[in-house]
Structure 1
Amino acid sequence: MLHAYKVEYFQDEESTLYLPSGFKTGEDTFPHTVVLGTGRQPASCRRHPNGRNVMGISTGLAEKLHLPSKVDSLSLYCKDECLHAGVLIGIFTAGFTSFRLSPIGQRSHFFKKLLSVQSSLGVIPFVFGEQHIDWENGLIKGFFHFGEGWETEEIPFPNVIYDRLPNRQSEKRKTYQGLKERLEREYGIPWYNPGFFNKLDLFERLENDPTVQHFLPETRPFQSFEEMERMLSAYNHIYLKPKNGSLGNGIHKITYNRSTEEYYCRFRDGDQKNRLLKFKSLELLANTVFKSRNLDSFIVQQGISLLKENNRPIDFRVHTNKDEEGNWQVSAMAGKVAGTGSVTTHANNGGEVRVLSELFPEEKERQTIEGSLKDAALLLSHAIEGNLEGFIGEIGFDFGVDDNHRIWMFEANSKPGRSIFSHPDLKRFDLLTRKLALSFGIFLTHQSLDHPEEMIP
Structure 2
Amino acid sequence: MLKSKVAVQVISSGMLPDDTLMLGETWLKQWKIPEGQPVILKFGAFRQHVKVIAVAKYDGMRISQGLAKKMGILGNTPLRLQYKSGSSSLLLGPLIGVLISRDYPGAPDKPFGSITMFCRELVDGCATQGGYVYFFTPNHIGSNTDSVEGWVYADGWRRTTVPAPDIVNNRLTSRKLENKANVQHFLKEIKQKHGTTVFNEKFLDKTEVFDALKKDNSLSRYLPESHLLRNYTTLKAMSSRYDNVFLKPVRGSLGKGIIRVSKAEGAGYQALFATTAGSRRQQFPNLLKLYATISTKMKTVRYQIQQGLQLIEIQKRPVDFRALVQKNKTGKWSITSIVARTAGSQHFVSNLARGGTLSKVGEAVAKSNLTAGKADASSRLQQAALLIAKGIENQIPAHFGELGIDLALDTSGRVWLLEVNSKPSKNDNTPLTDNKIRPSVRMVIQYSRFLSGF
- TM-score above 0.5, yes or no: yes
What is the CA distance between 1:106 and its match in structure 2? Answer: 4.4
**In the alignment, which of 34, 45, 48 is matched to residue 38 of structure 1?**
45
CA contact (8 A) 2:121 2:437 kept: no
Q: Which amino acid aligns with 2:363?
A: E
Q: 2:399 aligns with which of 377, 382, 391?
A: 391
Q: Which residue of structure 2 lines up, in the alignment, with residue 252 of structure 1?
A: 259
* Structure 2 unaligned spans of 5+: none
Partner residue of 1:103 out of 106, 111, 115: 111
Report if the CA contact (8 A) 2:249-2:301 is conserved: no
Using a 3 Å threshold, how does the CA distance of structure 1 residues 137 and 392 change in structure 2: closer, same or farther?
closer
Q: Deviations over 1:297-323 (max 9, x none)?
A: 111001111111111111000001112
Question: Which amino acid counterpart does residue 250 of structure 2 have in structure 1?
Answer: K
1:121 is aligned, of 125, 129, 137, to 129
What are the within-5 Å matches in structure 2 for residues 17-96 of structure 1?
Answer: 17-19=22-24, 21=26, 25=30, 27=32, 29=34, 32-45=39-52, 48-50=55-57, 52=58, 54-59=59-64, 62-63=67-68, 65-79=70-84, 80=86, 81-96=88-103
Runs of 4+ aligned structure 1 residues displaced above 6 Å come to none
CA contact (8 A) 2:248 2:259 kept: yes
Q: Specify which of 365, 374, 383 is matched with residue 375 of structure 1.
A: 383
> Does the 8 Å CA contact 1:5/1:20 hold for their aligned counterparts?
no
Instruction: Show CA shifts across 1:386-443 (max 9, x none).
Output: 11123210000000111221111110011012345566x3344971111212322222
Task: Give the distance between the partners of 1:412 and 1:304, measured in 2 at CA.
Answer: 17
The correspondence for 1:243, drawn from 242, 246, 250, is 250
Give the equivalent residue in structure 2 for 1:205. Answer: 212
CA drift of 1:67 comes to 4.7
Partner of 1:239: helix, strand, or coil?
strand
Number of residue pairs the alignment of both structures matches:
440
In structure 2, C-alpha distance between the alignment counterparts of 1:69 and 1:418, rounded to whole Å: 27
Deviations 1:74-94 (A, max 9, x none): 112233432211211111223
Residue identity matched to 1:392: F
- Residue 383 of structure 1 deviates from its aligned partner by 1.1
Distance in 2 separating the partners of 1:329 and 1:126: 25
What TM-score results when the alignment is normalised by the length of structure 1? 0.87
Which amino acid in structure 2 is aligned with residue 4 of structure 1?
Answer: K
Letter in 1 for 2:326: N
1:130–1:179 contact (8 Å) kept in structure 2 = no
SS of the residue 2:218 aligns to: coil
User: Given the alignment, which residue of 417, 441, 454 partners 1:409?
Assistant: 417
Residues 1:167 and 2:180 are matched in the alignment: no
Q: Provide the C-alpha distance between the structure 2 equivalents of 1:28 and 1:121, rounded to a whole number of angstroms.
A: 23
Offset, 1:139: 2.8
Q: How does 1:329-340 map to 2 (within 5 A)?
A: 329-340=334-345
172-181 or 307-316, which moves further after superposition?
172-181
Counterpart contact for 1:17–1:45, Cα < 8 Å? yes
The offset of 1:20, in angstroms, is: 7.2
Change over 3 Å in CA distance of 1:26–1:3 after alignment to 2: closer
| 1:105 Cα offset (Å) | 4.3
Give the gaps of 5 or more residues in structure 1. 448-457
SS at match of 1:211: helix
Report which stretch shifted further, 310-319 or 434-443.
Answer: 434-443
CA contact (8 A) 1:197 1:412 kept: yes
Tell me the residue number matched to 2:16: 13
Q: Which moved more, 1:307-316 or 1:1-10?
A: 1-10
| Residue aligning to 2:273 | 267
Contact in 2 for aligned 1:251/1:343 (Cα 8 Å): no
Q: Residues 341 and 356 of structure 2 are in contact (CA less than 8 Å); yes or no, is this contact kept in structure 1?
A: yes
Structure 1 range deviating more: 93-102 or 177-186:
93-102
Name the SS for the 2:263 alignment partner: strand
- Residues 1:4 and 2:9 aligned together: no
Cα 1:113–1:215 shift into 2, 3 Å: same
Q: Give 1:266-415 correspondences, 5 Å limit.
A: 266-269=272-275, 272-288=277-293, 291-294=296-299, 297-361=302-366, 368-415=376-423
Q: In the superposition, relative to structure 1, how do residues 63 and 338 fare at CA in structure 2: closer, same or farther (>3 Å)?
A: closer
Question: Which is further off, 114-123 or 15-24?
Answer: 15-24
**Distance in 1 of aligned mates of 2:172 and 2:373:** 39
Q: Secondary structure at the match of 2:411?
A: coil
- Alignment identity in percent? 23
Secondary structure of the 1:305 match is coil
Quote how far apart the aligned CAs of 1:253 are: 0.9
Deviations 1:203-254 (A, max 9, x none): 1111011221221111101133332232223221110011111111000111
SS of 1:339's equivalent in the other structure is coil
Q: In structure 2, what residue type is equivalent to 1:416?
A: P
Matched position secondary structure for 2:102: coil
| Counterpart for residue 189 of structure 1 | 196
Question: Structure 1 residue 116: deviation in Å?
Answer: 3.0
Amino acid at match of 1:85: L
SS of the residue corresponding to residue 438 of structure 2 reads helix
Query: What pairs with 1:223-234 in structure 2 (closer than 5 Å)?
Result: 223-234=230-241
**How far apart, CA to CA, are the structure 2 residues paired with 1:222 and 1:20?**
67
Q: Is the 8 A contact 1:421 1:427 kept in 2?
A: no
> Matches of residues 143-182 of structure 1 in structure 2 within 5 Å?
143-146=151-154, 148-182=155-189
* Superposition deviation, residue 137 in structure 1: 8.6
Q: Which letter maps to 2:287?
A: L
RMSD over aligned Cα atoms: 2.8
Question: 1:321/1:283 Cα in 2 relative to 1: closer, same or farther (>3 Å)?
Answer: same
The one-letter code sitting in structure 2 at the alignment partner of 1:403 is T
TM-score, normalising length from structure 2?
Answer: 0.88
Q: Verify the 8 A CA contact 1:421 1:429 in the aligned structure 2.
A: no
Alpha-carbon shift at residue 27 of structure 1 (Å): 4.5
1:368-391 Cα distance to aligned partner (Å, 9 max, x none): 111111111111111111111232
CA distance 1:430–1:250, change in 2 (3 Å): farther
1:432 equivalent to 2:433? Answer no
Partner of 1:453: none
Instruction: Return 185-194 or 130-139, whichever deviates more.
Output: 130-139
- Give the whole-Å Cα distance in 1 for the aligned partners of 2:428 and 2:289: 38
The answer as to 2:452 corresponding to 1:445 is yes
Distance 1:345 1:222 in 2: 23
Q: SS at 1:117's partner residue?
A: helix
Paired residues of 1:62 and 1:69 also in contact (CA < 8 A): no
Match of 1:450 in 2: none
